[in-house]
A and B are shown apart, each in its own frame.
Chain A
């Protein structure tokens, strides 16, 4: 069975004045089919947003290394020429709702214009047709249709987020990457948006890559979870596996740091700070902060070890088959 999205050994480094920043290193994951969602979870600065940009091929001018393979719907994307990638993939197959989508709209153009822009520019639809489609989408995401004629500053944060989602859907892409889509919103609006995402999955058969620092929120929306640390995916598996049986010490700490309402445990903070991606620690990138670290950890970076039914973890603890969990 081929999956909808298959990312293999994706690596993306960029150079700044102090050296190469290894933002994404050897990342592999796949997303089975439409209607499912993968959560990319990690602290800020872990490289999860860079991963989104790397998939969208929105690279900075100082990119130092960009390789690996991305298979989308049976098509390899990295080998595609820039022009074809822009015309055939962006927004058509792969849309993005960026971090801080609050500012995702051009402030001097009407919202509607911006939603239909890709449709009109590619010449797929006339303006009238495009408008009808956009208004339909606006209604679908729960906005009044007159939003079409409004300017971004006239919308609230939640409305802008919905409008941004509507914009992402205009070319009916099979996959949408959502980068922290709810982080700037208050709790009730957050819930509305997550409910909307669930509806999109179910009703439109949309595949979603959901990027967040909030593992609880991710588990609400996503079927699979990938935990990102220092530019690498350290653990990946179904939401259930990762939440109930976290294997990687980092995942365990991350879960322990979440305050729980009905529990006696006090939230644990992870000691230390995420590493500088210019000079990540040798060996396992988590080992300086890891309470379970032993000799091999500092020597060599562990590969991903398969634990059970697709759950994988990059940790030397699992070198000899499936040891204790």
Chain B
């Protein structure tokens, strides 16, 4: 029995997703002429630089123009501007695939590098920290709350949670974040309104950790607040459906303790559909965290998006971010798919 083959089959869609996004990037850059404009601007800048350098040696303006024209042609070939975008961009895409992401215009990494790779990758752990923490908390609340709610079907609490879940779908996550800042940081001054560390950050490791926690509290609360209602409700429904299945009846008839029935025969069986739910919610969670990072000035990829869009736009950073974001999404999805295949023997192939 192999776990690998079903996993490969299930991951194929994700690889497709990845390439679709890549193709969309290339098409957008090419069809809008955006790529040509950027290259022309880069070449122009370089030529201006060279002109000042050449002015030392070449006095004759005509000859200067001739030299520069020749240089321009060389550069156009070098950057690929002489060929149409549909020849050039696939090569660029390949370059991007090898994580050669170019250089940023104005944005810098925390230690001053202008390589987009450095700028983006140093943000990934920060984003993951926020995302995984809130996902785990949401899942924990969902599983405990959902399992509990399944035992009180039709109670006022049950109805309240189902209404709360519906409302959650109508609330923008980031706005909740703003409200929390307004109430908890500005009015009550309980928690910091943004950033990841105080300025200056504490140097002692333990103090630093608690500083980080206090800064993470509001964004995590925000993300959990809008997602735990739907999470409880869907797990409640899954659990209820499973609790009515015959094998649960049998487990009880076997004289097993109720706790064992709940854990092994209800929750364990609910695990695969819960993971499926996580998979469907993942894109939403990622989008939510882009915006929540922006609100709380959390130095992750989402905030980087905002910084790259505001002020002088940084094209390379935005292309790279979109790419890395998709990559991250695809990787997490594949991890979840693996978890699913591991949890649900029914999708495994038998020899």
Contact = CB atoms under 8 A, between A and B. Distances in A.
Interface of A: 56, 58, 86-87, 89-92, 95-96, 98-101, 103-109, 117-118, 121-122, 151, 153-154, 164, 167
Contacts of A100: 246
A87 to B, nearest CB: 6
Nearest to B252: A58
Contacts of A117: 251, 254, 256
Given A108-B268, A153-B345, A154-B350, A118 B256 contact: yes
A87 B250 CA distance: 15
B255 A90 contact: yes
Contacts, number: 72
Interface stretch (B5-13, B257-265, B309-317): B257-265
Given A89-B255, A108-B268, A108-B269, A96 B250 contact: yes
B246 A103 contact: yes
Given A108-B271, A117-B256, 10 more contacts: A58-B249, A90-B254, A92-B255, A98-B253, A101-B246, A106-B247, A107-B269, A153-B345, A154-B350, A167-B250
A172 B265 CA distance: 23
A107 B247 contact: yes
B212 to A, nearest CB: 38
9 contacts: A91-B253, A91-B254, A91-B255, A105-B250, A108-B268, A108-B269, A122-B255, A154-B350, A167-B250
B260 A106 contact: no
A107 B264 contact: no
Contacts of A151: 345-346
Contacts of B282: none
A121 B257 CA distance: 9
Given A58-B249, A104-B246, A109 B264 contact: yes
Contacts of B269: 106-108
B260 A121 contact: yes
Cβ-closest 10 pairs across A and B: A90-B255, A103-B246, A151-B345, A96-B253, A118-B254, A106-B247, A91-B254, A104-B250, A91-B255, A86-B255
Contacts of B343: 108
B65 interface: no
Interface in B272-323: 272
B340 to A, nearest CB: 11
B103 interface: no
Contacts of B345: 107-108, 151, 153
Contacts of A103: 245-247
A101 B246 CA distance: 7
Interface in B319-351: 343-346, 350
A55 to B, nearest CB: 11
A94 B124 CA distance: 58
A58 B245 CA distance: 14
B256 A121 contact: yes
- Interface residues of B, dominant DSSP: helix
Given A101-B246, A151-B345, A106 B265 contact: yes
A16 to B, nearest CB: 12
Contacts of B265: 106
Contacts of A118: 254-256
Interface string B150-181: 00000000000000000000000000000000
B255 A106 contact: no
Nearest to B350: A154
Contacts of A108: 268-269, 271-272, 343-346
Contacts of A106: 247, 251, 264-265, 268-269
Contacts of B250: 96, 98, 104-105, 164, 167
Contacts of B247: 103-107
Contacts of A153: 345-346
A96 B248 CA distance: 13
B345 to A, nearest CB: 4
A109 to B, nearest CB: 7
B266 to A, nearest CB: 9
B257 to A, nearest CB: 7
Nearest to B249: A98
Nearest to B343: A108
Contacts of A99: 246
Contacts of B350: 154
Contacts of A86: 255, 257
Contacts of A98: 246, 249-250, 253
A65 B343 CA distance: 41
Contacts of B264: 106, 109
Contacts of B249: 58, 98, 104
A82 B253 CA distance: 12
Nearest to B258: A86
Contacts of A121: 256-257, 260
Nearest to A100: B246
A154 B350 CA distance: 8
Interface in B70-100: none
A131 B289 CA distance: 49
Contacts of B257: 86, 121
B344 A90 contact: no
Nearest to A115: B254
A87 B346 CA distance: 32
Nearest to B246: A103
A98 B247 CA distance: 9
Nearest to B271: A108
Contacts of B253: 56, 58, 90-91, 95-96, 98
Q: Which of B253, B343, B350 has the largest count of A CB atoms less than 10 A from its CB?
A: B253
